A and B are shown apart, each in its own frame.
Chain A
Amino acid sequence: MKTPFWRNKRREFDDEVDTHLRMAADERTARGESAAEAKQSARREFGNVGLVKDVTREIWGWASLERLIQDLRYALRMLRKNPGFTIVAVLTLALGIGANTAIFSIVNAVLLRPLPFDNPSRLMMLHEGLPKIGYPKLDFSPPDLTVFTREQKSFSALGAFQDKHVNISGQGEPERVAAARVSASLFPMLGAQPLLGRAFLSSEDAPGHNVVILSYGLWQRHFGGASNVIGQTMEIDRQPYAIVGVMPRSFVFPLSGPDMNALPAEVWVPIAFTPAELQGWGGLYVTSVVGRLRPEVTLDQARGEMESLANRVADNYPMALSNLLHHGLTMTAVPFQTEVVGSVRTLLLVLMIAVGFVLLIACANVATLLLSRAATRQKEIAIRTALGATRLRLVRQMFTESIFLALAGGALGLLIAAWTRSFILALVPASIPLPHQVPINAGVLAFTVAVSVLAALLFGIAPALQSSAGALQVPLQEGGRGGTSSRPRHRLQGVFVASEFALALVLLVGAGLLIRSFVKLLQTNPGFRPDHLLTLTIPLPHQAYPHGAQIYDFYKQALERAAALPGVQNAALSSDLPLNAREMVSFSIEGRQNAQGNTPEAVCQSWIFGDYFQTMGISLLQGRWFTAEDQVASQPVAVVNLSMARKYWPEGALGKRIKWGVNDSWETVVGVVADVKEGPLNSILTPHVYRPYSQIAPGFLEEDPFGEWHTMNLSLRTQMDPTSLSSAVVAQIHSLDRDLAVTNIHTMTELVSSSFSGPEFTTVLIGALAALALFLAAIGIYGVLAYVVAQQTHDIGIRMALGAKPRDIFGLVIGRGVRLAAIGSVIGLAAAFGLTRLMKSLLYGVGAMDPLTFVGVVVVLIFVALLAVCIPARRATKVDPMVALRYE
């Protein structure tokens, strides 16, 4: 090994000093002193050799580097000498740092990454709203967008899009893919350039242009990435479309987000609003709008302009809808990034706090370990002080050890993070818009290093300061055994252990609340029987089924064929399914409409065909179900759920009449059914009205502004395992139309459990972190008390010699542990009261201050503390007074 230059110089200086000493000694010998005497007095005259060397080396300038290396070598030696301590400390830190790195890598990929568009901070998502009738946040309706685009001045560009699904057919199996209608302005505004061909032209914003832009994925999959694809035609919903462009692989749009509820499109077609859409005043609030804020305009200014423009837009509404507007049309803008991240922000924030707590607990643990070890090192420290080490130098030395531990923990933590991260991401349910892969990039690495250093500061400083304070006087006199001098150390350890318990308590309360709400979710009665139910979606392409009668006939036959399958008890079609109610409509009640017409409330609405209630197992409470007699020509009827009946007709709903539009006819309520969970199981129950598909006039059926009458869901109640029927059902549908794409084939049980998946994910994650915290806190309290017992063996021996019973000793140690845990719990309770409010949106059916959870958690915590303390307490009772005293 090559000798570093400073070591050479160092050795030279050592030689120089040696020479000095020898010459001084020689001179004294020459004067007649004995050799030993001369040597000693030469040394005495010289002074503190080590110190002179230190001070001189400092002149060299690179002393600090040298000292660092020295400290590092020393630290390594110390850590190697205590493998047990080192392993426990490094593992503890690795768990803490690993958890932080894993969560941070997700936060980094989701919250901190800018959207993959040009200057994304200026992109805003624009919304309309009718807050007074329960829609605070809507997308734009085409006519409103037209007026707004014409009048607004805050945005340099506006882009509109609307997600949908299309059937791609032609070669091979028909395929249903995610698509989006987009305005020509959208791609340029986002800064997206096509890889091949061109973007849409503004002339293509008008209807009548069958052009399509492909995603990279679809281009590869269907066209093998052929470059001559531009100009070819493909069939979309059975219409020929000319391919004009291919987007690059990196371009993903729409971005999936919680409130956007969209899938990245595989094909893009022009938005080309139809004349009917452009006249869809007061409805069709389904077009997403993104705007690029002008450089000189602030978000607040834009919002101000939008507020006043909302009134101008409202002035354009037809008179018949003026009632809607009396409730106030609003417009506002939200940063696109915020919109995309949405509710995940809360989840990630809570997770970040949770892992932060775990790290703090890990640090407290290592700090108590260091404090315990400082006791065994007191002699060493005293000797080093006696030899001239300053307190600063001692602190620096001990801190170097801490850094070492932390970096080793960080390195191991990185491995843990790499592993747990993929584990966590694999658990991410579709309902939570987290990416399934996140990179560990430079940012994440920097975070890990920073967290490691921070951890070293947290756990290293207090023990270093504490054990270097007054290091000289005590231990040498004391003979190295803990006595009075260990009291401040014990107090400090107590502080750490109590803080661990406080932190663990907060985490446990969080986890407890989530578990309680998850249990509540599981116990929720969905209002229908999810077992033995098969559901699937049969979308009919508009172009292939242009006439209302065709649509109706197709669905009628499909229903009959499905119902006739062996093993099928009941079959029904519906515009939506339980847990996934989509459409909200406002209506008026006979005799109760105000001057403007409708009551301002909106209710869920489903169109049903066949034995829907029997199939779903929704019980009929009053009146009747729909029958085959409910036809277009007969009296219009509706069935309402219990919530709706109670809300509007506490006196009894049967026979009451409602209507939807000004020109619609009155519908009579003929039945009341039980409430069904409309959304994810954690949502509240809402009024719901069911209307018979068979009463839709064929002309309306053709128009189908929401696309719902073309996209009916088939449900089958089966006698056997529902999945065994799926191929038979699809075969029946294909016997009617070979080119139809049948999608969303699921059992209802799957749908129910996927609606649990979001809360389950959160609960599992926070629960795991809380368990980790509890485990670390238990180790912490165990470690401290085991140490205290070991240190006080002598005292305990004396007590026992003086007649203390093992029971007393046991109680003494237990009492100490429980006191620490209790103090921690009280502090933790106060913190938890403040912090659980953050989680409100993640909870269902329990308050953020649920007393049962709080009490339960304290009980668990004290119980775990008791268990952890039992071992050292038992060991204390085993102390043999004779041995303990002789040990002295």
Chain B
Amino acid sequence: MKPRYQNRIELLQGTLDLLILQTLQWGPQHGYGISQAIRNRSGETLQVDTGSLYPALHRLEGQKWIKAAWKTSDNKQRVRVYQLTAAGKRQLLSERSRWQQISDAIAGILSPAKENQA
């Protein structure tokens, strides 16, 4: 079990961290909310595996990019809510620009015709 999941976390690590940080930029959110948000905003394409989500949340918390607090939700449930820290915001910016680079690079490789046309 462990090797399998670790591989997946590694595979998704940068991306999942980026997605979590981005999601939290819109406001504090709990774990379930984060997973739903990613799912909804990706048009159901990205299904975040809880086996990756919670380790990632706890890791980001350990890196002080997000912080967590217990709050009572609208329907009186105790929930653990995650919130972006200042460091987290900076991290989000750098991750976004890195993602942009990767995404441009991949796009460039995938559509060489465009380049020729230009």
Contact = CB atoms under 8 A, between A and B. Distances in A.
Interface stretch (A20-28, A95-103, A529-537, A768-776): A20-28
B49 A47 contact: yes
Contacts of A27: 36
Interface centre among A23, A24, A26, A388 (most CB of B within 10 A): A23
Nearest to A57: B58
A58 interface: yes
A17 B77 CA distance: 12
Please indicate which of the listed interface residues B30, B49, B50 has the most CB atoms of chain A within 10 Å of its own CB. B50
Contacts of A55: 2, 5, 51, 54-55
Contact of B55 (A46, A59, A390): A59
A24 B80 CA distance: 15
B32 A24 contact: yes
A338 interface: no
Given A20-B31, A24-B32, A15 B1 contact: no
Interface in B30-55: 30-33, 35-36, 49-51, 54-55
B114 interface: no
Interface in A361-403: 388, 390
Contacts of B80: 12, 15-16, 19
Q: How large is the interface on A (under 10, 10 to 19, 20 to 34, 35 or more residues)?
A: 20 to 34
Given A19-B30, A19-B32, A19-B77, A56 B55 contact: yes
B51 A47 contact: yes
B62 A52 contact: no
A509 B96 CA distance: 78
A89 to B, nearest CB: 31
Interface of B is mostly: helix
Contact of A17 (B49, B54, B62): B54
B62 A59 contact: yes
A20 B55 contact: no
B75 interface: yes
Contact of A23 (B5, B59, B70, B77): B77
Interface in A1-56: 12-13, 15-17, 19-20, 22-24, 26-27, 46-48, 51-52, 54-56
A20 B2 contact: no
A887 interface: no
B77 A22 contact: yes
Contact of A390 (B2, B49, B70, B78): B2
A15 B32 contact: no
B16 interface: no
Contacts of B79: 16, 19, 23
B47 to A, nearest CB: 9
Given A19-B80, A58-B55, A390 B75 contact: no
Contact of A388 (B1, B49, B54): B1
A55 B51 CA distance: 7
Nearest to B79: A19
22 contacts: A12-B80, A16-B30, A16-B54, A19-B77, A19-B80, A20-B30, A20-B32, A20-B50, A22-B77, A27-B36, A47-B49, A48-B51, A51-B51, A52-B50, A55-B2, A55-B5, A55-B54, A56-B54, A58-B2, A59-B58, A60-B62, A390-B1
